[in-house]
Amino acid sequence: MLFKLFIFCRYLATGTTFTAVRYDCRLGISTIGKIVLLLCYALWSTKTNEFFPEPTEERWREMSDDFRINSHFPNCLGAIAGKYISVPKFPRSSSMNLNYKCNFSIVLMANADSDYKFTYVDIGAYGNDCDSSVFRKTSFFKLLILNKLHIQPSDPLFTNDTENCPFVFVGDEAFSLSEKLMRPYAGHNLMRPYAGHNLSEKQKIFNCRLRRARRNVERAFGILSNKWRILHTALNVSKELFKNIVKARVILHNLIRSKDGYRSEINIYI
């Protein structure tokens, strides 16, 4: 079993191929593929409830408090974003997985907390879909709209406030603005330094704080990709195996963050 675990971890951590592992471990390619598939399935089936439990009101409040402390964005329950993961051209997929960069990919849609752990993932959406449309097709969005995620409706932003504000998730300009999902004020883009000149000072501060909260999911994606470097290559495997590999990496990411994760940045107040 330890030998199978070694093969599995080496394959995911180095981004190598089944052929390279074959020569190192003296096993057939089909045998290596079965080992990877078996361990991916075992990880997802046994650890999903532990690392992606059904959310409770207490857990949402803990995440909100963490965002208040670490990102200075009160009443925030998570940062939502999509990541394109390169894939080969699957049979009979036509151009459905062809993204705007002319690369074949599938979308990993995720919500992350302030400790760079994923609290929800959706894997396998077509690469030519935008983040907003992918998010609207997820089970998470449907439960959010139906108010079935056990989220408290509202709470004061600060201790001395008398007015309540709703709990929200944050995203970038690709998402649609709603009562439950906040995005930056339009016209402010980091790639266009002068695009936000028409925003007021309060709007600029809001955008800055929202970006600070949203970058948690981008950092989570960065940690995931660099620790498990198999994400840097388009694997020559079936779509079903690819989705199981991504599921296993997400579980391992949350496991490592829970065991020895740490925050290295210095909190700077505005």
- Between CA 84 and CA 99 the distance in angstroms is 8
Check whether 194 has a pLDDT greater than 60. Answer: no
Give the residue carrying structure tokens 């107040």.
269
State the pLDDT confidence band at 263, using cuts at 50, 70 and 90: low
Closest C-alpha to 63, from 222, 219, 169: 169
What pLDDT shows up at residue 104? 87
Please check whether residue 254 is in contact with residue 117, taking contact to mean a CB–CB distance below 8 angstroms: yes
Tokens of 107: 């979308």
Cα 91 to the chain's mean position, in Å? 27
Tokens of 28: 């057939």
* Those residues with Cβ within 8 angstroms of residue 17's Cβ, 6 or more apart along the chain or in another chain: 236
What pLDDT shows up at residue 187? 66
Please give the model's pTM, rounded to 2 decimal places.
Answer: 0.86
Tokens of 203: 């709007």
- What is the residue extent of each domain of the chain? 1-51+238-262, 53-227
What pLDDT shows up at residue 137? 92
pLDDT in tens, 5-62: 888 888 888 777 788 888 878 888 888 888 888 999 999 999 999 999 888 999 999 9
* Those residues with Cβ within 8 angstroms of residue 8's Cβ, 6 or more apart along the chain or in another chain: 35, 36, 39, 40
The contacts found for 182-190 with CB under 8 angstroms, 24 or more apart, are 182/210, 183/210, 184/210, 184/211
Computed over every residue of the chain, the mean pLDDT equals 85
- Between CA 258 and CA 173 the distance in angstroms is 30
Tokens of 68: 């208040």
